[in-house]
Structure 1
Amino acid sequence: MSKVFETYGVNCPVCGKPLLRPQILNKRTGQKMAGACPSCGYMEDINHREIPDNKALTASAHKNEALGYINTYSIFSSFDVFNRRFSNYTASSDASKQVLERSRTIANRIINGETIHTLMIGATGRGKTHLAVGMMYWILERSGYKLLKTVMKNGKPVETFFSWKIIFIDWRELIERKKQSFNDDQMAKQINKTMAEIKNADVVILDDFGSERGTEYSLDLADAFWRDRENKTVIVTTNLIGSDLTARYGDRTLSRMKNHGVNNGITFANIPDHRGLVE
């Protein structure tokens, strides 16, 4: 362990790894400082120089619950995907600046309560996944990790804040794990939990849709996904254009994708390959 930082028995609510904090005390307060996760970048948001009030505790609870939900139900091949932000996207051309700004605009509309299907289309390595994850963090951070919903209480509609429920799905990884789960009961339980939450999540990021080898199994899975998300927000990244998607998945699935998708697409054209430029 570094002589500068120490663990203190608290794990990251996002990736589950131990948080680190400076070994030295805050010179002004004489107290330990807040911790952070070196793996995913999570930072504790309660000011440890003061006893947190109810407002600070509630804000922290929303953040931990929202990030914990992502970690619990998402399907991804590498945790590195969650290091993406708008702030570390390389916008080196007018085209890349335009897709960054459009991603930010759509994220703001999602914060404001719009149901959106946004299709991010472009060749491999153009930054689609980067900006999709950037949209997720923008939504969370700009809204204080919470959204306002109307629920029925004692027969009357009441507005209440809830923590965001966002899931990231690597489409190809999901298909592979679904197949593996036939012979793995523990994996089957995890996959089934994720599939159930796809129906409930406020936002689902569907990454690399269409990258799998076309089979009846993958077609059935796509059909089930879009039945569940037809009227709920989905952020999709894909290398396929509309006609390719129709040929792969059929008119019915594409029709569900188009619902809430008019004028919400983002095309990654005239953008260089970003891979190797950002981490």
Structure 2
Amino acid sequence: MKMPQFFQDLIKTNKVKVDPSKDRTWLDERRKKMDAGWAEDYYTAKAEKERQSWLNDSLWSGNQPLQFTFENWVPAMQENDEQARNIGNQAWVMADRVIKGEQFNILMNGEPGTGKTSLALAIAWKAWQEAEMNFLFISTMELVSMFSQRFDDQEVAWRLDDLQKRAKNAPILILDDFGTEGGMKNEHGYYKPVRKDMQEWLYQVANARYDQITNSHKGVTIVTTNNASGELMQMYNPKLISRVITKRRPNVLNFDGLDDMRG
């Protein structure tokens, strides 16, 4: 009986002398191990490809993808290093809750440049590394720019449609710099409402990520903002704000008091 080509290749590769009539068990075990290794490599590559597609579909500020982990959070860079350490620890606890399967909204607010985006990404990257949870990042400033172009550029309109589908179903959704798209306060100290088509787009996303029967969230939504909730209410419909801005204290990180690290 002719030895199967698989066995011939295996023997040649491993440089061993094997009698298939006596050592079939060894060969079968070896093949199982190779098949298991191939399967592991296949699923690892598949997961990496899927992760990359989420990163590519994200809407990054300046079209520059960002990566930040908890190891990159250095409290000593802040004058108030104790507060920075506490905020980092709270974010770590939130990340563990996400990894364990809890679905909830997170609010990170405070002055610009204090690390809100960084810790939002740290939570998302930790969830991907430990639980293979993909995330979608949306810069709302880039989003409003796309809405300004949608009627002049069909590809932008298509991209908005695809982005919305992704946002509705993302395991983790990051809405970064939420409220910045509202611009500056007017002479009376108020913010103007964000354009209606963008509000409707975001409301559809928020509504899809909320189960109205059980009054619970679907997935995790992380919002970073420089604005107070009252200011966001001037820019957006209250129904949208109630779906994306959490009021639960354990889900809120306040960065006021930290230094602007961009300067």
Q: Give the TM-score normalised by the residue count of structure 2.
A: 0.71
Question: Which of 189, 195, 199 does residue 219 from structure 1 map onto?
Answer: 199
In 1, the alpha carbon distance for the partners of 2:244 and 2:155 equals 32
- Residue equivalent to 1:77: 61
Question: Which of 65, 70, 83 does residue 86 from structure 1 map onto?
Answer: 70
1:93-242 matches, cutoff 5 A: 93-143=81-131, 145=132, 164-213=133-182, 214-217=193-196, 218-230=198-210, 231-232=217-218, 233-242=220-229
Deviation of the 1:215 alpha carbon: 3.0
Q: How many residues are aligned here? A: 206
Distance 1:210-1:81 versus aligned 2 partners, 3 A rule: same
Q: Which amino acid aligns with 2:261?
A: H
Q: CA RMSD in A?
A: 2.2
* Bigger relative CO (Cα 8 Å, ≥ 6 apart): 2
- Residue equivalent to 2:185: none
Retained in 2: the 8 A contact 1:81–1:133?
no
Greater radius of gyration (CA): 2
Retained in 2: the 8 A contact 1:95–1:269?
no
Distance 1:259-1:128 versus aligned 2 partners, 3 A rule: closer
Deviation of the 1:175 alpha carbon: 1.5
Deviation of the 1:80 alpha carbon: 4.2
Retained in 1: the 8 A contact 2:108–2:253?
yes
- Residue equivalent to 2:43: 58
Q: Which moved more, 1:83-92 or 1:118-127?
A: 83-92
In 2, the alpha carbon distance for the partners of 1:199 and 1:57 equals 28
Deviation of the 1:89 alpha carbon: 2.2
Q: Give the TM-score normalised by the residue count of structure 1.
A: 0.67
In 2, the alpha carbon distance for the partners of 1:102 and 1:185 equals 43
Residue 206 of structure 1 aligns to a residue in which SS?
Answer: strand
**Higher percent of residues as helix:** 2
1:34-45 matches, cutoff 5 A: none
In 1, the alpha carbon distance for the partners of 2:144 and 2:209 equals 17
Retained in 2: the 8 A contact 1:168–1:207?
yes
Identity %: 26
In 2, the alpha carbon distance for the partners of 1:216 and 1:79 equals 22
Residue 263 of structure 1 aligns to a residue in which SS?
Answer: helix
Deviation of the 1:125 alpha carbon: 0.3
